[in-house]
Amino acid sequence: MACTTDTGCQSTCYKNEEDDHQPTPTPLTSSTKSPQPNPIPNGNHHGLCLKCKANHPISSASSGSGDDVRFCGDCFRSNLYGKFRLAVTSNAMISPTDKVLVAFSGGTSSRVALQFVHELQYKAQLNFEASRDRSLPVFGVGVAFIDESVACSVPSYEVIEGIEDIRQIVSSLAPPTKELLVFPIESLFSSTSTDGKDQLNRLLDGVTDATGKEDLLIHLRMLSLQKIAAENGYNRLVLGSCTSRIASHVLSATVKGKGYSLPADIQYVDARWNVPVVLPLRDCLSEELNMLCDLDGFGSLKTIELIKSPCAGINSLVSSFVKLLQEENPSRQSTIVRTAGKLTPFDFNRIPEIIDTNVPLATRRRQKRYNLKPNESISTESFCPICNSPLSKSEVLSSTSVEDSHKDSHLFRVECCSSCQFQILPKDPISVDNFYMLLPQPLVSKAKHSKSDNLSILREQIEDCLLSDSEDET
Q: Per-residue DSSP letters for 288-328?
A: HHHHHHHHHTGGGSPP-------TTSHHHHHHHHHHHHHHH
Instruction: Report DSSP state, residue 49.
Output: -
Quick one: the chain helix, strand, coil %, rounded to 5? 50, 5, 45
Residue 200 pLDDT: 94
As a whole number of angstroms, the distance between CA 53 and CA 322 comes to 34
Do 341 and 384 belong together in one domain? no
Inter-residue contact 390 to 261 (CB < 8 Å)? yes
Angle between helix 193-205 and helix 429-438 axes, rounded to 10 deg: 150
Classified as helix, coil or strand, 180 is strand
Provide the whole-model pTM.
0.81
Do 196 and 344 belong together in one domain? yes
Helix ranges restricted to H, 6-137: 73-90, 108-130
Residue 290 pLDDT: 86
Is 373 domain-assigned?
no
Instruction: Report DSSP state, residue 147.
Output: E
Do 446 and 307 belong together in one domain? no
From 64, 80, 55, 75, select the one nearest 25 (Cα to Cα): 64
DSSP strand pairing (277-278 vs 236-238)? parallel
Is 344 domain-assigned?
yes
Instruction: Report DSSP state, residue 405.
Output: T
- Which residues face 277 on adjacent strands? 237, 270
As a whole number of angstroms, the distance between CA 374 and CA 220 comes to 30
Is 181 domain-assigned?
yes
As a whole number of angstroms, the distance between CA 56 and CA 37 comes to 9
- Which residues face 236 on adjacent strands? 100
Inter-residue contact 309 to 39 (CB < 8 Å)? no
Inter-residue contact 423 to 208 (CB < 8 Å)? no
Residue 199 pLDDT: 93
Tens of pLDDT, residue by residue, the chain (474 residues): 445 444 444 444 444 444 444 444 444 344 444 444 444 444 554 678 887 887 877 776 544 456 767 878 888 888 899 999 999 999 989 988 899 999 998 888 999 999 999 999 999 999 888 888 777 789 999 999 999 888 887 778 888 888 888 898 899 888 888 999 999 999 999 878 788 899 999 999 999 999 999 999 999 999 999 999 999 999 999 999 999 999 999 999 999 999 999 999 999 999 999 999 999 999 999 988 988 888 765 544 445 555 555 567 899 999 999 999 888 888 899 999 999 999 999 999 988 766 655 565 655 665 555 555 544 444 578 899 999 999 988 877 776 666 554 678 888 888 899 999 999 999 888 899 999 999 998 778 776 665 555 555 555 555 666 565 555 555
Is 9 domain-assigned?
no
Amino acid at 100: V
Residue 21 pLDDT: 44
Residue 301 pLDDT: 45
Inter-residue contact 411 to 447 (CB < 8 Å)? yes
Do 243 and 156 belong together in one domain? yes
Is 420 domain-assigned?
yes
Residue 150 pLDDT: 86
Do 321 and 260 belong together in one domain? yes
Is 46 domain-assigned?
no
As a whole number of angstroms, the distance between CA 326 and CA 422 comes to 30
Whether the bond between 176 and the residue before it is cis, its omega within 30 degrees of 0, is yes
As a whole number of angstroms, the distance between CA 207 and CA 120 comes to 42
Do 386 and 328 belong together in one domain? no
Residue 7 pLDDT: 47
Q: Which element (helix H / strand E) includes 145?
A: strand 140-147
Q: What CATH number did the domain enclosing 351 receive?
A: 3.40.50.620
Residue 204 pLDDT: 93
Is 286 domain-assigned?
yes
As a whole number of angstroms, the distance between CA 374 and CA 468 comes to 28
From 231, 323, 229, 321, select the one nearest 276 (Cα to Cα): 229
Residue 27 pLDDT: 42
Full residue range of the structural domain in which residue 417 is found: 380-461
The total number of structural domains in the chain stands at 2
As a whole number of angstroms, the distance between CA 93 and CA 341 comes to 18
Do 321 and 254 belong together in one domain? yes
Instruction: Report DSSP state, residue 203.
Output: H
Do 168 and 297 belong together in one domain? yes
Do 336 and 435 belong together in one domain? no
Amino acid at 410: H
Q: Which of 322, 355, 388 lies at the terminal end of a domain, its last residue? A: 355
Do 345 and 385 belong together in one domain? no
Inter-residue contact 281 to 289 (CB < 8 Å)? yes
As a whole number of angstroms, the distance between CA 252 and CA 245 comes to 11
Is 375 domain-assigned?
no
* Strand runs labelled E in 221-377: 236-238, 269-270, 277-278
Do 301 and 386 belong together in one domain? no
Do 423 and 331 belong together in one domain? no
